[in-house]
Amino acid sequence: MKRNDTYVSAAEPTPAAPARPAPTVELVSGKVLDNLWGGVGVAVALSAIYALARIAAANLGVMPLPDWQHAAWAGLVFALVGLTAFGMLTAWRASLDERERQGDINAMAARIADDDEYIDELEAKVEEYRRLYENSVQDLAEARAALHQAMGRNSDRYRAPEDDPVASSVERDAQFLLQLMYSGKPAGRKSVTDLYKDWTRPRWEAARDLLEAAGVVRTVGNQTEPSEATLQAATSKLGAYCHSEWDS
């Protein structure tokens, strides 16, 4: 019989990356406020630098302090710069989010590919176990056939499995009689039928006949005696005769 002893080692599945929090109104508005305050900070910083520079220049006599109109125009320019910074920060944060999403998509695709490979390995391993199971079933069938052939050659009490199957109820009754015999309790027909109301004479005789056919007991006169030294040996011999041990 040809065997396939290939062993397939199943790899561990790739652990999933931590899930990113789902975007919510609070999360998005928080990012927008961060960007807005960044633009405000730029405008305030430029205004402060401009004011300090004009004050220093005025103290040095280089140029006078600006009038209100000039200061208003400078404030407008700084405000526009702050809005530009806000827009650039927003675009930059959006690009970061997009790159993170793309990274998550790529990681998910890689995990799916790893899972597909893992599933393929599991399927190969299942197929290998199926082949091993089929080989074991075939080996068991061959061993059972060889055992029956040996038993037929070596025992005049051998009964082929397909010849006159023994009813499981009769086998259980025979085992019950064995338990009575080996425990020192009365196992004769009259004792059993008197003590156990569901036992009849035909039922007792069927169990006794099975024990005799299996060679587990022998009848001397009116006495039925066990032929094996222990209950375990007697039960095993009965099971071998009924094929309950070999074909179950």
Total count of domains within the chain: 2
User: In terms of domains, do 123 and 200 share one?
Assistant: no
63 contacts 54 by C-beta, under 8 angstroms: yes
Residue 196 resides in a domain = yes
Q: Among 81, 107, 142, where does a domain finish?
A: 142
Residue 20 resides in a domain = no
Residue 14 resides in a domain = no
Transcribe 154-166 into DSSP letters: H-TT---TTSSPP
User: In terms of domains, do 30 and 126 share one?
Assistant: yes
The residue that leads in pLDDT, 56 or 247, is 56
Provide the residue range defining the domain that includes 85. 25-142
- pLDDT at residue number 1: 44
Q: Give the HSE-up count for residue 101: Cα atoms under 13 Å, Cβ half-sphere.
A: 8
Residue 6 resides in a domain = no
The neighbouring-strand residues paired with 106 are none
Highest mean pLDDT among 21-25, 64-68, 111-115: 111-115
Mean pLDDT of the 113-124 span = 88
What whole-number distance in Å separates Cα of residue 188 and Cα of residue 225?
Answer: 10
169 contacts 213 by C-beta, under 8 angstroms: no
Check pLDDT > 90 for residue 176. yes
User: In terms of domains, do 124 and 192 share one?
Assistant: no
What whole-number distance in Å separates Cα of residue 210 and Cα of residue 38?
Answer: 98
- pLDDT at residue number 6: 47
5 contacts 117 by C-beta, under 8 angstroms: no
Q: How confident is the model at residue 160 (pLDDT cuts 50, 70, 90)?
A: low
Buried/exposed 122-156: b ≥16 CB within 10 Å, e otherwise: eeeeeeeeeeeeeeeeeeeeeeeeeebeebeeeee
Check pLDDT > 80 for residue 167. yes
Lowest mean pLDDT: which of 21-30, 165-174, 187-196?
21-30
**Percentage of residues in the chain with pLDDT exceeding 70?**
64
Phi then psi for residue 188, to 5 deg, are -70, 165
User: In terms of domains, do 137 and 39 share one?
Assistant: yes
Phi then psi for residue 20, to 5 deg, are -75, 145
180 contacts 208 by C-beta, under 8 angstroms: no
Q: Which residues contact 171 (CB under 8 A, 6 or more apart)?
A: 210, 238, 242, 244
What whole-number distance in Å separates Cα of residue 173 and Cα of residue 236?
Answer: 15
The residue that leads in pLDDT, 194 or 40, is 194
- pLDDT at residue number 153: 61
The residue that leads in pLDDT, 55 or 226, is 226
User: In terms of domains, do 72 and 130 share one?
Assistant: yes
Highest mean pLDDT among 4-18, 61-75, 144-158, 178-192: 178-192
The residue that leads in pLDDT, 83 or 134, is 134
Give the gyration radius of the chain's Cα atoms. Answer: 47
Q: Which residues contact 15 (CB under 8 A, 6 or more apart)?
A: none
Q: Among 107, 142, 177, where does a domain finish?
A: 142
Taking only the tens place, the pLDDT of each residue in 58-109 is 677 777 767 777 767 777 777 777 777 777 777 776 677 777 777 778 888 8
Buried/exposed 62-83: b ≥16 CB within 10 Å, e otherwise: eeeebeeeeeeebeeebbebbe
Mean of the per-residue pLDDT values of the chain: 75
